Amino acid sequence: MRRRGFTLIELLIVMVIIGILIAFILKAAMGGVRRAEEKATIALVAKLEQAMNDRVDALTTYRADPTLAHRGLAALYSAGSSAIEDVQRAQAIAQFDFIRAQLPDVFAYDQNNDNYPLNFAGNRYGPATTPPDLAYQLPLGNSQPTGSGGSWDGTAANFSPGTGIYGASYEIAAGIYKQLGYGPKGYDGSDNNNNGLVDERAEGNLGLTPAEVTQIDNRLRLHRHKTARSEMLYAILVEGGGVYGSSFDKDDFTSKEVQDTDGDGLLEFVDAWGEPLQFYRSPILYRSDVQKGFPDVAKLTLDLANGNRPGPYMGAYDSREQNPLDPNQTLLAPAWWGSRFNNAVPVGIGAASGAISGGAMTFMDHFGPCLVDPIALNVGSPNATTFWDRSSAPNPPATGPIFARRAYYSRFLIVSGGPDKEVGIARLYDPKDKVPAIYSALDDRASIETPTGVVNGPGALTGNARDASGAAVPISVPALLLESQGGKVDLNRGALGRLNTFSANGRNDTNSQLEYYSQDDITSQTLQSIGGPLQ
């Protein structure tokens, strides 16, 4: 008996079934690909984290020698009395200075600087020098002679080459210069042309052909800020020189793990989605199970519901963090941190800003705003429940509040944006990048929060409105110090872009859109092992 053919309806049913099966197969295959990508990225981040752990352990066991500038910055200056030195605080400042130089986490291209076109987030210390670059030498104040108590005395500059410049030690910066194409005399840590500068661009050009010099210029113009942190991490761990050397050889990574995505000649660690990893030395505002950071929307909402000023802590008895580089909290001592007693800091060292002394302000100008709580700066009265500081002192604008003090515990952070390719951390604006820089335009939150509910000053906001001033912030050293905090925040905080001021726009709103982006991030602070999070 001859079998009849399929009817049209039967064929359609078969095709639908086949389509469903194919969809299931494709979904399973895509799920497998995504899991493989995640595992590959986790493995890379874990590998780099272990190397950084070893590097940090080695660096923190080294005891840096305080210079005269460190001692001058650490001293107390009260009107009508002589400077009071503090050995422990000077030691803590020297340690910050040393770690920063050995572990720079970012750099920016300054096309106006012919000697040092790359700045590793280094600010000038003291008055300008001749040549101007000397004021950026490390350790702090290396080129600045000091009078009694560490103040500038106007004598001739000291042309000692120091240990580094523009925020990085010479041997660490060499890992970048060598890849850019500098000649050997441009990264040997010596003053080869006897002009008082070490490893400047002129030395890098020595022995190169005109075509090779042009190639360096072209590479610098191709550089994108998006890649700088990953390039810095690679330079430290693979190209690193000096006493600690490198942790890896180039052959320890595959072509999928190391690439040059912007064509500037500098290699980057990239995740499985082809995006450069981001590296932060001290991400004090990054919130995780390891560190308090800046409170997320859930914490802020809980505080407001409980009638508390929003802050990082749950209560007065919640254990407070300590900075491991300053275990005795000498940098948070009210007599030095505040301007009430430390009110006669020499002009050559620093100028006070409201309640914060000139010494503390200068420290934060070089190492980031790591001595203040960004929320406490804006509240009208202290709150020992949710702030690091448990004081309840009065709050006169000229001399208080000391409750804005805060010590941070933070670990270095290596982070991938995950499958969505977006890191849940605020980044600076670079016209060549597609990084979302205007965070107020991205935020979907209409209320929560200004800590007081009101922002005073020009363009004041009232009620529970947030700061809507989130314009794109150009790359500069102060802005780099803000970005390096690793916060999910609006980077536009006042005309100077500085967090550590009492300006009306000295804000730091948590951005819920960035929190959304961070949900699939893969980071060194959230990696899972058999025993739990890697710490």
| pLDDT at position 444 over 80 | no
b/e map 245-255, b = 16+ CB within 10 Å: ebbbeeeebee
Residue 493 has pLDDT above 80, yes or no: no
d(CA 443, CA 468): 10
CA distance 214 to 495: 37
Question: At 146, is the secondary structure helix, strand, or coil?
Answer: strand
DSSP 155-223: -PPP----SEETTEEHHHHHHHHHHHT--GGGSSSS-TTSSS-SS-HHHHHTT--HHHHHHHHHHHHH-
Say which residue the tokens 């008895």 belong to: 317
Torsion of CA 487, 491, 493, 494, to 10 degrees: 160
- Tell me the CA distances in angstroms from 485 to 121, 361, 407, one per residue in order: 13, 17, 13
- Return d(Cα 131, Cα 190) in angstroms, integer: 17
pLDDT digits (tens, 9 = 90+) for 307-333: 887 788 998 889 999 999 999 999 999
Task: Check residue 465 and give its pLDDT.
Answer: 45
Residues 63-81: what's their mean pLDDT?
Answer: 90
More confident residue, 274 or 488: 274
DSSP 496: T
Q: What is the mean pLDDT of residues 463-486?
A: 69
pLDDT computed for residue 235 by the predictor: 96
Position 233 pLDDT exceeds 50: yes
Q: How confident is the model at residue 457 (pLDDT cuts 50, 70, 90)?
A: very low
3-class SS of residue 21: helix
Q: Three-state DSSP class for 258?
A: strand
Pick from 395, 88, 106, 398: nearest CA to 229: 106
CA distance 431 to 225: 9
pLDDT in tens, 141-156: 887 655 444 444 444 4
- pLDDT of 303 reads 82
Label residue 385 by pLDDT band (50, 70, 90).
Answer: confident
The pLDDT, as a whole number, for residue 300 is 80
User: How many angstroms separate the CA atoms of 404 and 508, rounded?
Assistant: 14
Determine how β-strand 528-529 pairs with β-strand 532-533: antiparallel
- At residue 248 the predicted structure's pLDDT band, cuts being 50, 70 and 90, is confident
Instruction: Report pLDDT for 447.
Output: 45
Q: What is the pTM of this model?
A: 0.86
HSE-CB at 518 with a 13 A cutoff on CA atoms is 22
Report domain extents, the chain. Answer: 104-121+167-280
SS3 58: helix
Q: How many residues does the chain have?
A: 535
DSSP, residue by residue, 334-375: HHHHBTTTS----TTT---BTTB-HHHHHHHHHH-STTB-TT
- Side-chain-facing half-sphere of 264: CA atoms under 13 Å: 23
Give residue-wise pLDDT tens across range 152-202.
444 444 557 789 999 999 999 999 999 999 999 999 999 999 888 999 999
Residue with tokens 């981040």: 45
Q: What is the DSSP code (8-state) at residue 405?
A: B
Peptide bond into 449 cis (omega under 30): yes
CB atoms inside a 10 Å sphere around CB 385? 18
Angle between helices 225-237 and 8-61 (to 10 degrees): 60
pLDDT for res 437: 55
Catalogue the E-assigned strands of 252-395: 258-259, 268-269, 278-280
